[in-house]
Structure 1
Amino acid sequence: MKFLPLVVALALIPATVAFADEKRPDHFEGEASPTLDAAIENLSVYNAKLQAIIGKSNLTATDMAEIHQLTYTIEVALARLNEEVETMQEQVEVVHLSSERMEFDQVQETGTNYLENIAKIAPPKQ
């Protein structure tokens, strides 16, 4: 009989979770970021929207709903950015190893691709 309260509590967990899900706001699909350029554009636009909302002195429930919706696009864009940065890391490794092996063409080709993409998020200093 000592375990009866525990059994009852465990039995109620699925019902509690289902009820909690019903109370969650509707979910949205963020705007796609199919390329690095699209991801950067979406981050620029949606970060500005986020900044405008959170910069208010008092946030409202409507503000929170807007934040909830726009963060989907930010998350999608950041995921794309992460994928692109991983590719750039791989390219730098290829350039590194190719430079050790004196593979001139590989260094130029892969290095050029890397530099074109990295300049989009970290422009070279002039």
Structure 2
Amino acid sequence: MCNKWLKQGLCAVLMVSATSALADARPDHYQGQQADSLEQAMTNLVSYNAKLKTVLAKSSLSLEDMAHIHELTYSLENALQRLDVELDSLAATLEEVHIGSEKAQSEQVKSQGQKYLKHAETLLQSGR
């Protein structure tokens, strides 16, 4: 009976070790195009969406196509992460306008409102 538990325990340890070794052997991933600004994120989003659309238009996808799509997704994810940061910032600024309006703080509403509009306009222009 003890021998059975010992074997099972040893098998479990070996499986964990093998899984860990396989995870460590995973090759480095593609980094994708960086999106360090809103403008760069929008440019990359438009460009890499077009590339993805072209590949997806094929009647069937080869392994090479799948690898290409895999690489494209890194650049798209970088662009979306930048947009997420920009939208969070925009929402925070709008919240300052909202709170200022509730408290009738005209200076805060004016300054944060102008900041919000400038950021929103940049975002909207970048999307064109």
TM-score tier after normalising by the smaller chain length: 0.7 to 0.9
* Partner deviation per Cα, 1:62-88 (whole Å, 9 max, x = no partner): 111111111111111111111111111
TM-score by length of 2: 0.80
The one of 11, 16, 20 equivalent to 2:19 is: 16
C-alpha displacement of 1:97: 0.8
C-alpha displacement of 1:91: 0.7
1:5 maps to 8
TM-score by length of 1: 0.81
**In 2, Cα distance between the equivalents of 1:119 and 1:7?**
62
1:78 counterpart = 2:84: no
Whether the 8 Å contact between 2:97 and 2:109 is mirrored in structure 1 is: yes
C-alpha displacement of 1:20: 5.3
Whether the 8 Å contact between 2:38 and 2:123 is mirrored in structure 1 is: no
| Paired amino acid for 2:95 | E
Report which of the two structures shows the higher radius of gyration computed on alpha carbons. 2
**In 2, Cα distance between the equivalents of 1:54 and 1:25?**
25
Give 1:1-126 correspondences, 5 Å limit: 1-3=3-5, 4-19=7-22, 22=25, 24=26, 26-122=28-124
> Structure 1: which 5+ runs fail to align?
none
| Paired amino acid for 1:11 | L
Calculate the aligned-residue CA RMSD, in Å.
Answer: 2.2
Equivalenced residue count is 122
